Structure 1
Amino acid sequence: MASLSVPPVLTPPRDDAVALHKAFKGFGCDSTTVTNILAHRDSAQRALILHEYKAIYHQDLYHRLATELSGNHKNAMLLWVLDPVGRDATILNQALNSDITDLRAATEVICSRTPSQLQIMKQTYRARFGCYLEHDITERTYGDHQKLLLAYLGVRRNEGPEVDPSAVTDDARELYQAGEKRVGTDERAFIRIFSERSWAHMVSVANAYQHMYARSLEKAVKSETTGNFQFGLLTILRCADTPAKYFAKVLHKAMKGLGTSNAALTRVAVTRTEVDMKYIKAEYHNKYKGSLAEAIHSETSGNYRTFLLSLVGWDR
């Protein structure tokens, strides 16, 4: 369930575009007005605002925001105003082609999305950045991690709840024989099963593995694999089970200890606000015995804090 708060009576997109333009004029940007408008409009409404701004002022609102805002607030807002698929493609491009690559971010986006989302995202990536996503993955990754990502992008998995119990048992047995039962690990079996099976099937495989071998499949993955390959497998497994629980953990890790991973905090906030942020907040509270909004408030500041809290919302 989304956490986005939209006014019951919406201002026409043209009026929003005019108000944003006024916020940019003069000495400094009226960031409060920018946040009050854009953080309370859904994806379709934001697209209309961008269209109206271009029609009235012959300028791209995205690029105007890039010149008017700064820091983490700018980074978050520029992702937020994109359509969801374009946003995912942009996160992937930044993760793979910046001066410092962020393979965890790229892996998270790929392994937490549905097959239909991935198909559209690949097309958008090609259209926006002039190259195939698979090419950039091949250039930036290696080994079993690379094989997993390419397989996960290439296979059209079933998205329904249907599960074949006999196939589930076979997969649980094959994963055991490919991992814990033998010396060394047959990574090919893990890649094939994790990339070809639906989320519903993988949840059933994890349950069958626990029943058959008195050990969780997640622990088996942790003991048999390493690095970004392990991270990808765990992301698939955890998102198949409960995506909200997975993202609550990402947010907690982004804010715990010294310093804050603003990239991870921004990524989850802007990509999940219109999807399942209310569920993420509930999972965060259950797991960490605290409020996600209060954690964000304590770890961020200024316009960035205001913007994130406008998206996530205070707990009721």
Structure 2
Amino acid sequence: MAYPGYPPSGYPAFPGYPPTGQESVYPPAGQYTYPAAPGGYPPAGGGSFPAAPPSTGYPEAGGYPAPGGYPAPGGFPGAPQAGGMPSYPGGPGYGVPPTGPGFGGYPQPPAQSYAGGGPAQIPGYPGGQAPSPMPGPPAAMVQYTQGTIQAAPNFDAGRDAEILRKAMKGIGTDEKAIIDVVSNRSNDQRQKIKAAFKTMYGKDLIKDLKSELSGNVEELILALFMPRTYYDAWSLRHAMKGAGTQERVLIEILCTRTNQEIREIVNCYKSEFGRDIEQDIRADTSGHFERLLVSMCQGNRDENQTVDYQKAQEDAQRLYQAGEGKLGTDESCFNMVLASRSFPQLRATAEAYSRIANRDLASSIDREFSGNVERGLKAILQCAFDRPAFFAERLYYAMKGAGTDDSTLIRIIVTRSEIDLVQIKQKFAEMYQKTLATMIASDTSGDYRRLLLAIVGQ
């Protein structure tokens, strides 16, 4: 299913495209953590890492475990010194986060229910179960995030422009040559190819590609040539443009991006489309969902990686009193906590909540909310535990069953290709016992299939 009117006639149809200086820096700062396994780093097949690990510290601060494992001598910043590390979640001692579809990352010992063990509602989360505490470090830390597309070495924009010109010149189109170039260049390199093409031939590469391609392969290639920030802004605009609103697109982008990415998207939306994104959100959504999205587009989530366990306990109690502990729901309390707390802080809050409420937080959100605001809050909670799993799930349901949601498939593959698509692929295989490439191959065909598989690294 494509967006109405996608791609815009005569793309680029918006003045000043591509935006100058709007491109995000990927991958986002603070996304790098290293495995604690005896094999050290980099993990097999994991690509290159910096020559030396970051400073010693608690993994959530981006550090590498101290020699001899952790807790490091003297403990971790902000962690209680007596009684060991609060669990993550599961009880006293350093625990491990949940694994399986929707959450995951660390190996899971024999499952132990949350206090009372109400079934979790985020799809695929082990029903009503959380892992038991594990003494010492887990066998593997959350992996270094990595894209399947890297900047090509020995890059020559003029040479690539010449290859593309030759592929489109005359009768017929050499789609293979086009695929070979666009799937093996970073987004920044594609912008340079586009500029070189216009300099060398006095023609607009995007218009030439549009005249030679059609259907899903056209949509995919045009998405690859959009600067990253512009593509997110463009996707949001088209999710709200015209009749109807694609709320899941709004959730997917606004609830998963970093503060820096959101601020750049908001600025790009204004400069490229001459519109205020907050006003568009207010015009197209309503109620508690509208308030959640407005909160998200501020780009002001706390990004401090140090966990305040006292605040986590207080927030958990506040959430309980706003939902399970009263008749009715104080939606603004859930909005405040989930929209403003850092992801490590939300994990600690979720763990504390399970002890207080005798139920996990995801299950309570299901009981207290419905519709788009429920989906938005659960997306935030899921990303706090495992962002790649969120995108793996979105990809799965874009292809599951009859038909394919091609716009979602294209958007996620393109936007995550230089950030964490390697981890999304790994999580997809864990969650659904089949590879992402296998499912793409069975759901697509022709040049569209070949380009998607080239991007995911097959």
Whole-angstrom CA distance in 2 between matches of 1:66 and 1:138 = 34
From the superposition, tell whether residues 32 and 235 of structure 1 become closer, same or farther in structure 2 (CA, over 3 Å): same
- Structure showing the higher helix proportion among its residues: 1
Q: CA deviation at 1:101?
A: 2.8
1:72-115 CA-to-partner distances (Å, cap 9, x unmatched) read 11111111111211111111111111555311112210000011
Q: CA deviation at 1:25?
A: 1.4
Are positions 1:94 and 2:215 aligned together?
no
Residue 29 (structure 2) aligns with: none
**Is this contact kept in 2: 1:155–1:195, CA < 8 A?**
no
Aligned partner of 2:339 among 195, 202, 222: 195
After superposition, where does 1:201-280 map in structure 2 within 5 Å? Answer: 201-280=345-424
Whole-angstrom CA distance in 1 between matches of 2:406 and 2:299 = 32
Aligned partner of 1:28 among 165, 172, 184: 172
- Please identify runs of 4+ aligned residues in structure 1 that moved more than 3 A: none
Q: CA deviation at 1:227?
A: 0.8
**Is this contact kept in 2: 1:169–1:205, CA < 8 A?**
yes
Q: CA deviation at 1:120?
A: 0.9
Whole-angstrom CA distance in 2 between matches of 1:179 and 1:69 = 52
Residue 160 (structure 1) aligns with: 304
Whole-angstrom CA distance in 2 between matches of 1:259 and 1:188 = 38
Superposed CA RMSD: 1.5
Question: Bigger CA drift: 119-128 or 147-156?
Answer: 147-156
**Is this contact kept in 1: 2:365–2:374, CA < 8 A?**
yes
Aligned-partner residue type, residue 307 of structure 2: V
Question: Bigger CA drift: 94-103 or 15-24?
Answer: 94-103
Residue 64 (structure 1) aligns with: 208
Aligned-partner residue type, residue 167 of structure 1: K
**Is this contact kept in 2: 1:155–1:196, CA < 8 A?**
no
Q: CA deviation at 1:252?
A: 0.9
1:159-197 CA-to-partner distances (Å, cap 9, x unmatched) read 231121111111111111111111111111111111111
Q: Secondary structure at the match of 1:185?
A: coil
Residue 103 (structure 1) aligns with: 247
Aligned-partner residue type, residue 291 of structure 2: K
TM norm structure 1: 0.95
Whole-angstrom CA distance in 1 between matches of 2:206 and 2:323 = 48
Are positions 1:3 and 2:148 aligned together?
yes
Between structure 1 and structure 2, the one with the greater Rg is 2
Whole-angstrom CA distance in 2 between matches of 1:204 and 1:289 = 30
After superposition, where does 1:68-79 map in structure 2 within 5 Å? Answer: 68-79=212-223
Gaps of 5+ in 2: 1-145
**Is this contact kept in 1: 2:304–2:342, CA < 8 A?**
yes
Residue 143 (structure 1) aligns with: 287
Question: Bigger CA drift: 279-288 or 18-27?
Answer: 18-27
**Is this contact kept in 2: 1:202–1:240, CA < 8 A?**
yes
Aligned-partner residue type, residue 328 of structure 2: G
From the superposition, tell whether residues 98 and 62 of structure 1 become closer, same or farther in structure 2 (CA, over 3 Å): farther
Q: CA deviation at 1:11?
A: 4.3
1:234-274 CA-to-partner distances (Å, cap 9, x unmatched) read 11111111111111111111111111111111111111111
TM norm structure 2: 0.66
**Is this contact kept in 2: 1:3–1:312, CA < 8 A?**
yes
Q: CA deviation at 1:154?
A: 1.8
Aligned residues: 313
From the superposition, tell whether residues 33 and 100 of structure 1 become closer, same or farther in structure 2 (CA, over 3 Å): farther
Whole-angstrom CA distance in 2 between matches of 1:115 and 1:138 = 20
Whole-angstrom CA distance in 1 between matches of 2:242 and 2:154 = 38
**Is this contact kept in 1: 2:347–2:385, CA < 8 A?**
yes
Whole-angstrom CA distance in 2 between matches of 1:40 and 1:98 = 35
Whole-angstrom CA distance in 1 between matches of 2:316 and 2:418 = 35
Residue 12 (structure 2) aligns with: none
From the superposition, tell whether residues 29 and 135 of structure 1 become closer, same or farther in structure 2 (CA, over 3 Å): farther
Identity %: 35
**Is this contact kept in 2: 1:178–1:187, CA < 8 A?**
yes
1:263-295 CA-to-partner distances (Å, cap 9, x unmatched) read 111111111111101111111111111111011
Aligned-partner residue type, residue 208 of structure 1: A
